[in-house]
Amino acid sequence: MSLLKRIEESASYIQSKLGGLKPQVGLILGSGLGAYADDLENPVCIPYSEIPGFHASTVVGHKGQLVAGTRDGVTVLAMQGRSHFYEGYQQADITLPVRVMKQLGIDTLIITNAAGGVNEAFKEGALMVITDHINFSGTNPLIGPNLEEFGPRFPPMTKVYDPTLRRKLLVMTQAESITLNEGVYMMFAGPNYETPAEIRFARTIGADAVGMSTVPEVTVAAHAGMRVIGISCITNMAAGMQEVHLSHSEVEEVATRVRSTFIRVLDLALQVIKAEE
Ligand code: HPA
């Protein structure tokens, strides 16, 4: 089946479950943040396993369902858990949910992740709003026939992380004395953590944080002309920058520790988007 047909099928299945609900904002919740979707008002939960074309996520700590609901008057469609490239899927497959969001009429995406800090000024537990990214995954979700219905063959990637939304979010977080760093996110395919040499390389070419997600989804969102806000939780300093071995349990532990601040930042991001509409 063609990619476009799969997107249309997924979207119409989700639409049938949503009733009249019209989500305005898409939300991709990374490690430790899944609980944000549990607090949406009047939630409608749709397990990925039920949705044609969706993959069930296999990573520990990721739930694997869509949750539609309202938060502070904004209707969101949240992904509680996501698929990753390192699980063995094609990038066109892991990004299908973003195209489905677009098909459902969603024009703004908030994407979150856990990342390793590369910028020496960062500390574990810091939050970073993504200003730009480096695709070091080795491939690209837009490879293959272009979906003209969504965007052009050669999309520009100059202002992917919406500068206006970012600036407004920084003003709102500053007003509440929440420190939000800014920086460039670099994607490695994973699933191993990087080597210290790779981290020195990442820093040399301009990365502030590294991770194993986000870039494919954001590339597809940019192709479709969606506005994007990306926020990383720096759960650890990257390889060679800290004494202890990197582990997924450390990543989860730190993500959980800063969850309440992260949730506040997400709420402020929703307010910024609401004020724009
Ligand atoms: N590297 C890659 N991905 C990550 C890291 C890291 O150090 N921490 C959390 N996700």
CB 180 within 8 A of CB 201: no
Cα–Cα distance between 53 and 198 in angstroms, integer?
Answer: 34
Atom nearest to 238 CA in ligand 1 = 7
**Ligand 1 pocket test, candidate residues 128, 186, 199, 236, most atoms within 8 A of CB:** 236
Say which residues have a Cβ less than 8 Å from residue 93's Cβ, sequence separation at least 6: 55, 83
Hey, what amino acid is at 102? Answer: K
Using only the alpha carbons of the chain, give its radius of gyration: 17
Task: Quote the crossing angle between the two packed helices 215-223 and 96-103, to the nearest 10°.
Answer: 30
Q: With 70 as the cut, is the pLDDT of residue 93 above it?
A: yes
pLDDT of residue 61: 54
**Ligand 1 pocket test, candidate residues 201, 246, 248, 253, most atoms within 8 A of CB:** 246
pLDDT of residue 252: 85
Cα–Cα distance between 181 and 198 in angstroms, integer?
Answer: 22
Binding site membership of 115 for ligand 1 (Cβ less than 6 Å): yes
Hey, what amino acid is at 214? Answer: T
For the question of whether the overall pTM of this predicted structure is more than 0.85, the answer is yes
Each residue's pLDDT tens digit, 45-77? 999 989 998 876 655 555 789 999 999 999 999
pLDDT of residue 123: 94
pLDDT of residue 248: 86
pLDDT of residue 56: 64
Each residue's pLDDT tens digit, 159-186? 999 999 999 999 999 999 999 999 999 9
Binding site membership of 254 for ligand 1 (Cβ less than 6 Å): no
Binding site membership of 251 for ligand 1 (Cβ less than 6 Å): yes
Q: How confident is the model at residue 195 (pLDDT cuts 50, 70, 90)?
A: very high
**Mean of the pLDDT values across residues 273-277?**
89
Cα–Cα distance between 261 and 268 in angstroms, integer?
Answer: 11
Percent of the chain with pLDDT over 90: 83
Atom nearest to 251 CA in ligand 1 = 9
Binding site membership of 185 for ligand 1 (Cβ less than 6 Å): no
- b/e map 174-205, b = 16+ CB within 10 Å: eeeeeebbebbbbbbebeebbeeebbbebbee
pLDDT of residue 141: 97
Each residue's pLDDT tens digit, 234-261? 999 999 998 777 888 888 888 888 999 9
Q: How far is ligand 1, taken at its centre, from the CA of residue 236, in Å?
A: 7
Atom nearest to 212 CA in ligand 1 = 3
Binding site membership of 235 for ligand 1 (Cβ less than 6 Å): yes
Each residue's pLDDT tens digit, 11-41? 999 999 998 899 999 999 987 788 899 999 9
Residue whose Cα lies nearest atom 5 of ligand 1: it is 116
Each residue's pLDDT tens digit, 74-87? 999 999 988 899 99
Q: How far is ligand 1, taken at its centre, from the CA of residue 113, in Å?
A: 9
Q: How far is ligand 1, taken at its centre, from the CA of residue 116, in Å?
A: 4
Q: With 70 as the cut, is the pLDDT of residue 112 above it?
A: yes
Cα–Cα distance between 175 and 246 in angstroms, integer?
Answer: 34
Residue whose Cα lies nearest atom 6 of ligand 1: it is 116
Start-to-end Cα distance in the chain: 36
Q: How far is ligand 1, taken at its centre, from the CA of residue 114, in Å?
A: 6
Say which residues have a Cβ less than 8 Å from residue 88's Cβ, sequence separation at least 6: none
User: Mean pLDDT score of the chain, rounded to an integer?
Assistant: 93
Residue whose Cα lies nearest atom 10 of ligand 1: it is 115
